[in-house]
């Protein structure tokens, strides 16, 4: 356990370096440890929203088809180990120790020294772990953007760009077109691309796919879905239809994500992967992905949703209007400072009977006092624990407590709920 703590402290120190774009540092680390990624098969997922959900859907279907599957996502909610899983089982503390120590030792022995980021290091850890575990395929989620993201050293079997919207403007650009160019940077020569993007973003992705001689599969043209009833839809992939598929994740946006996943699986089948249709149905019917419209308590009902940008907040509001129109809502909200929080507030504030602003334990977190400038009435707390206590005191048994605005807020709340309620 001491070595696990040492690795976590080492990673914590790397967080102070912030975001370092570019592939030089991750390539340097990977070269130091023998380039494990060069011996793995990958699916690479970029996009503004839905990356983790699509990754989990695809990896679950593959696992249930008998394949050994790695999955790398971020951020984690409670423990670092959530980021790196094989067959939906988290990397153990002892494996974090072993691989963390191995990489630290290798990089410190290099004559040339590099200043690398937390995400560079954790990406290398994931690739080394997947190699040691002999996974048959690894599903990898982009951390930020695509073109210069640490994960973009891989050459995947398939690339997915879920969608494109305004987010991370400080790093990716101020327009959808600029952001789409960054995300389209994951497209590799000859590698098929699946996307749910539309409008100018789709035009950018199409142009990059043509330049890269990469087959492009686009939502609405090559595959689509139709909602039949709550959490159930018909899914069409070219000439094949999957009827009445139940998806065990709430919100219509999860049918959108399932459509991307089913298209991905259909292409993998064409590549020779042995996946039966009934496994697609059963896997999606049992899928779980924490912190996404996750109901964690009843009376009062408590829902956690890591809606962290304008598009995700809009999806959350649609869900609230459809399912909780008549319920009194106590909303705990905390956001990161680099988000369009004014736009997020315009969407979510009209849904709240009571607003509690708070902040996550993160340098990127926006002060709740800044959020309070945009509303007439709210409560302000300096941490998630106090926000939960305030919500408990305010809410009646028949009310809804919603905790949202950031996966960091959701993760801290998830950790503290038993203590408060």
Tens-digit pLDDT profile for residues 89-132? 999 999 999 999 999 999 999 988 888 999 999 999 999 999 99
Higher pLDDT, 62 or 362: 62
Tell which of 286, 317, 340 closes a domain.
286
Query: Tokens standing for 370?
Result: 């800044």
Q: Are 392 and 403 in contact (CB under 8 A)?
A: no
Same domain? For 305 and 249 the reply is no
pLDDT in tens, 11-46: 988 877 777 778 999 999 999 999 999 999 999 999
pLDDT score for 338: 87
Q: Is the pLDDT of residue 274 over 70?
A: yes
Look at residue 1 and tell me whether its pLDDT is greater than 60.
no
CB 88 within 8 A of CB 18: no
Q: Where are the alpha helices (DSSP H) in 118-270?
A: 118-132, 169-172, 176-183, 199-211, 253-270
pLDDT at 240 over 90: yes
Q: How many Å is the maximal CA-CA distance in the chain?
A: 65
270 and 148 in a common domain = yes
DSSP 222-241: TEEEEEEETTEEEEEETTEE
Of the candidates 294, 289, 334, 298, the one whose C-alpha atom is nearest the C-alpha of residue 421 is 298
How many domains, the chain? 2
- H or E stretch covering 244: strand 240-246
Average pLDDT, the chain: 95
Are residues 110 and 232 located together in one domain of the fold? yes
Chain centroid offset of residue 255 CA: 16
Q: Is 251 helix (H, G, I), strand (E, B) or coil?
A: coil
**Domain of residue 108, CATH code:** 3.40.1190.10
pLDDT of residue 170: 64
Question: What would the pLDDT profile of 276-304 be if each residue is shown by its tens digit?
Answer: 999 999 999 999 999 999 999 999 999 99
* Beta partners for residue 90, in sequence order: 85
- Residue 16 pLDDT: 74
- Residue at a domain's end among 286, 307, 336: 286
Residue percentage of the chain with pLDDT more than 70: 98
pLDDT on residue 171 = 61
- Overall average pLDDT of the 222-230 stretch: 96
Which of 165, 186, 160, 163 has its CA nearest to residue 175?
Answer: 165
pTM (predicted TM-score): 0.95
Range of the domain at 346: 294-420
Segment (H or E) for 301: strand 301-305
277 and 300 together in one domain:
no
Pairing of strands 89-90, 84-86: antiparallel
**pLDDT (tens digit per residue) in 154-201:** 999 999 999 998 766 666 776 999 999 999 999 999 999 999 999 999
C-beta neighbour count of 334 within 10 angstroms: 29
Residue finishing a domain among 286, 315, 337 = 286
């Amino acid at each position: 356990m001491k070595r696990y703590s040492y690795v976590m402290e080492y990673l914590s120190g790397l967080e102070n370096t912030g975001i370092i774009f570019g592939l030089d540092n991750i390539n340097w680390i990977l070269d130091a440890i023998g380039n494990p990624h060069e011996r793995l098969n990958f699916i690479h997922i970029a996009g503004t929203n839905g990356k983790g959900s699509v990754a989990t859907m695809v990896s679950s279907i593959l696992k249930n088809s008998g394949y050994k599957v790695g999955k790398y996502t971020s951020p984690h909610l409670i423990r670092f180990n959530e980021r790196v899983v094989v067959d939906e089982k988290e990397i153990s503390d002892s494996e974090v120790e072993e691989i963390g120590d191995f990489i630290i030792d290798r990089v410190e022995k290099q004559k040339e020294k590099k200043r690398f980021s937390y995400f560079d290091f954790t990406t290398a850890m994931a690739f080394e772990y997947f190699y040691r575990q002999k996974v048959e395929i690894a599903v990898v989620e982009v951390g930020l953007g695509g073109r210069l993201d640490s994960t973009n050293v891989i050459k995947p079997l398939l690339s997915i760009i879920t969608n494109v919207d305004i987010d991370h403007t400080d790093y990716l650009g101020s327009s959808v077109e600029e952001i789409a160019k960054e995300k389209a940077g994951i497209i590799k020569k000859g590698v098929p691309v699946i996307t749910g993007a539309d409008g100018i973003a789709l035009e950018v992705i199409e142009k990059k796919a043509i330049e890269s001689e990469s087959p492009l599969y686009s939502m609405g043209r090559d595959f689509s879905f139709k909602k039949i009833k709550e959490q159930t839809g018909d899914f069409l992939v070219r000439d094949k239809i999957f009827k009445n598929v139940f998806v065990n994740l709430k919100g219509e946006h999860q049918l959108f994500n399932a459509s991307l996943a089913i298209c991905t699986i259909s292409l993998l089948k064409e590549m020779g992967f042995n996946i039966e249709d009934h496994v697609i149905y059963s896997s999606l019917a049992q899928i779980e992905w924490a912190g996404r419209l996750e109901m964690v308590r009843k009376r009062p009902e408590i829902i956690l949703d890591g809606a962290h940008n304008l598009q995700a907040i809009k999806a959350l509001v649609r869900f609230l209007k459809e399912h909780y129109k008549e319920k009194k809502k106590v909303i705990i909200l905390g956001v990161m400072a680099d988000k369009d929080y004014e736009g997020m507030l315009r969407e979510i504030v009209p849904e709240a009977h009571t607003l509690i602003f708070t902040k996550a334990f993160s340098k990127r977190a926006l002060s709740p006092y800044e959020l309070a400038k945009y509303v007439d009435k709210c409560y302000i707390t300096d941490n998630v624990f106090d926000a939960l206590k305030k919500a408990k005191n305010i809410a009646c048994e028949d009310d809804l407590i919603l905790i949202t605005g950031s996966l960091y807020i959701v993760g801290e709340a998830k950790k503290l709920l038993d203590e408060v309620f």
